[in-house]
Structure 1
C-alpha cells in the first residue's frame, strides 16, 4: 500500500539517528539480533500508516522475544523514519547496514521501498518489504529482497474486474505525477480496455476539484478513482464530487486504500463512506489473526488496519528465517524460498513470479471492501 505523497518527494538530508524501539534491548549482556525497520513517521509520509506498520513490527518483536528470541538471543528493532523520501530511505539502509542489522524490514510507500530495495541489493542486506506493492520493486531480479504485500497488478486487476461487474467500465482516474500512480493507471487501462471498458486520465494538479467535476460530466464517467495523496487533494475532490448533483450516481473508488485508516472518516464524515478500496485482510481471521488483532487494537487504541498485520507478519517471517538459517545476512536471504510460516492472514511462502524481480508471497488475501461505520463490507470474494 502506498497512497500518501506517492509523488516523488523533494530530497532531504540523510536521517540523523532516531530512537530505536526498545523491544529486546537492555537484556543481560546487551547482546541482541538487530532488525532495521523503515517506517514513514513524519510528513510528507502517511504518518497514520506508519504508526500502524510500526505497531505491528513492535508487537511481532515482543512476541518473538517472549518465545525465546533467536536461539535465546533477543531481537532488537532499530527504527528509522523515511518520511516518504526515497533518498532518506536509501541512506537509512546504509546506516542500518553499518549498525550490523541482520535484515531490514518495513516501508509503506512504493517509491520509497523501491529505493530501499535497490540499496539493500547493492550493499547485500536482506530486505523484507511489508506493504509496498509496485510490481517493479527492483529493476533486475535479486536474491536479497522479498515482499509480503501483493503486487499492484494483482490487486488492481481485481479492482478493475469489480468495476466491470458493477457496470462501471467507463472510468476516470484522477492522478498526480508518480511512478506508482502511473503504474496503477496503466494496469487499469489495459485490463479494462481488453474487456470493453475505458479509462480517461485527469491531472489533479491541473484542475480544481470543481473543474474535475465538470470533466467527469463531460466524459460521461460512471466511476472516478482517486489516484492521489491523502488528505490533499483527495479530501477536497471527494467533497466536490459529493456536492455536485450531476454526479449523484457516480461511483467514487480508491483502490490504493485511502479509506482504510480512521483519518479518512475523521476528515470526510459521511462523504467518506461508500468508497470501495482494496483490503489485504481475509473476511474472517483465524485464531492467530484474532489474537494479534486484539493486541494491535490495544496498542493503537483503534481497529488495526491490514498494514498493522503486515508489520507483525514481517517480523514473524524474518524470525523464522533467522532461526532456521542463521543470522548471517547471506543465509537470511537464502532462506526466502524455503520458509513456510503461519501468518495472521494465512500460510506465507515465497516464490518467483513472472514480471516481479523479488521473492513474492503469492498471494495474500485481496478483497474490495467498503465501510459501514467501523465495519468492513465485502463487495467481492
Structure 2
C-alpha cells in the first residue's frame, strides 16, 4: 500500500513548489473515512502524475498533487477547499464519499475553482447546475438501477435493505424502491442503526425476503450482519448484496473470509481495459502490493483528464471549467468525454462502465462478472 503523503506536499518546504502546476486533491485517508478507498484513489493519481511528469509535465512544468485528508468529514473538506484555493491550485480533484464530495463541490463552485470529482456518485452533487464541476463516476441513479435490473433478472422480487440514515444511503434506497416497484418488485426497509444483527435476521424471515442489500458502513455494522445471516439456517438461500462496492476491497475479505464471497456489488470497470489500462494496472499493482480496485483507475483517469486540459488551457481556472465539454481523453477504461445528463447538475462522463461483480465462493480472491449495464 502506498504511504499517504504529508498534508503539505511541497518538496521539503511545507508549501507546494511554486514552479509546478498544482492540483488540489481530496481523499479520505483516516477514519471514519473509508481509508482503503482513499489510498487506492490516491495511488492512481500518483501514478498518473508520475507518467505525466515522465512525459515532460504540463507545458514544461511538473505536475504536483497538493493532498488533503477529508476523513469523510464534509466540513473538513470544505475548509480544505478554501485552503487549496488560497494556495493557488489550478483545479480540485478526488474524493470518494458522496456527502463529502457534495460539500467540496459547493465550496469549489462558490470560489470559482474547477473540480473534477473522481469517485462519488450521488446524483445531486450540486444543488444547482454548474459549469465548474465535472464527474468521472456514473451517477448513483444509473448504477443502482443497473443493480436492480440484475436482481430482477435473477428472480428476486421481495428485497430487503438494511440501511443507515445518510443522504447517500437514503438516495440509494429511493432509487431501488422506485425502480423495483415499477417492475413488480417490493422493497422492505430495515433500520440497521436500530436493529441488532439477530433482529435483522428475524425481519428477513418475517418478510419472506429473498435478498438483503447492505447499505451500511464497514466494518460495522456490515460485518456482524453478514456473519449473522450466514450463520442463520433459516436464511440459507438468501442472496446478500452490497451495491456500494464494499466487497471490492481487501478490508472486506480480511474481515469476513469466505463469508464475504458471493455478495454482488457495483464496480466501474469495462469488460476489457484499454491498452493504457493494462499498463496502468501493472503499475498500480506494484504501488498497492495487490490488485487495484476500480477506484485506483478512477484516480489515474482523473489526472489524465486534468493534464490534458491543463496542456490546452493553462492554469487559468475559468478556462479549465469552460473546457469540460471539449474533453476527449483515452483513459484506462475507455474514451472520456463529458456531457449534460438530464437531472444531473454537473458535466458527466456518460459512458462510464458499470458491472455487477462478486467474489467467487470457490476462490474468494477472484471476481466474477455477473451483469453489465
TM-score over 0.5 for the pair: yes
Superposition RMSD on alpha carbons, in Å?
Answer: 1.6
| Contact 2:8/2:15 (8 A) holds in 1 | no
**Residue pairs, 1:165-176, within 5 angstroms:** 165-176=153-164
Counterpart CA distance in 1 for 2:275 and 2:344 is: 32
TM-superposed deviation, 1:308 = 0.3
Query: In the alignment, what sits opposite 2:367?
Result: 376
| Contact 2:274/2:331 (8 A) holds in 1 | no
In the TM superposition, structure 1's runs of 4+ consecutive aligned residues that sit over 4 Å from their partners are none
TM-superposed deviation, 1:283 = 2.0
The one of 73, 83, 103 equivalent to 2:91 is 103
Describe the SS at the equivalent of 1:34. Answer: strand
TM-superposed deviation, 1:54 = 0.5
Query: In the alignment, what sits opposite 1:123?
Result: 111
Counterpart CA distance in 1 for 2:40 and 2:322 is: 29
Counterpart CA distance in 2 for 1:21 and 1:45 is: 24
TM-superposed deviation, 1:30 = 5.1
The one of 74, 89, 98 equivalent to 2:62 is 74
TM-superposed deviation, 1:110 = 0.2
Counterpart CA distance in 2 for 1:291 and 1:76 is: 22
Q: Deviation per CA, 1:244-282, whole angstroms, max 9, x where unpaired? A: 000000100000000000110100000000000001011
Counterpart CA distance in 2 for 1:56 and 1:19 is: 19
**Residue 7 of structure 2 corresponds to residue 18 of structure 1:** yes
Counterpart CA distance in 2 for 1:165 and 1:104 is: 40
The one of 270, 277, 280 equivalent to 1:289 is 277
**Residue 129 of structure 2 corresponds to residue 141 of structure 1:** yes
TM-superposed deviation, 1:103 = 0.2
Counterpart CA distance in 2 for 1:18 and 1:325 is: 28
Query: In the alignment, what sits opposite 1:357?
Result: 345
Query: In the alignment, what sits opposite 1:203?
Result: 191
Counterpart CA distance in 1 for 2:30 and 2:235 is: 35
Counterpart CA distance in 2 for 1:253 and 1:316 is: 32
**Residue pairs, 1:311-326, within 5 angstroms:** 311-326=299-314
TM-superposed deviation, 1:168 = 1.1
Counterpart CA distance in 1 for 2:52 and 2:340 is: 27
Counterpart CA distance in 2 for 1:168 and 1:225 is: 12
**Residue 326 of structure 2 corresponds to residue 335 of structure 1:** no
The one of 42, 46, 57 equivalent to 1:54 is 42
Counterpart CA distance in 1 for 2:354 and 2:109 is: 28
Query: In the alignment, what sits opposite 2:3?
Result: none
TM-superposed deviation, 1:326 = 1.8
Counterpart CA distance in 2 for 1:218 and 1:281 is: 37
CA gap of 1:162–1:50, structure 2 versus 1, over 3 A, is: same
TM-superposed deviation, 1:19 = 3.2
Q: Deviation per CA, 1:200-246, whole angstroms, max 9, x where unpaired? A: 10001110000000000000001000000011100000000000000
Query: In the alignment, what sits opposite 2:295?
Result: 307
Counterpart CA distance in 2 for 1:283 and 1:213 is: 35
Instruction: List runs of 5+ in structure 2 lacking aligned partners.
Output: 1-5
TM-superposed deviation, 1:363 = 2.0
Counterpart CA distance in 2 for 1:232 and 1:362 is: 33
Counterpart CA distance in 1 for 2:365 and 2:224 is: 22
| Contact 1:22/1:76 (8 A) holds in 2 | no
Describe the SS at the equivalent of 2:345. Answer: strand
| Contact 1:353/1:360 (8 A) holds in 2 | yes
Instruction: List runs of 5+ in structure 1 lacking aligned partners.
Output: 1-16
Counterpart CA distance in 1 for 2:371 and 2:196 is: 33
Query: In the alignment, what sits opposite 2:141?
Result: 153
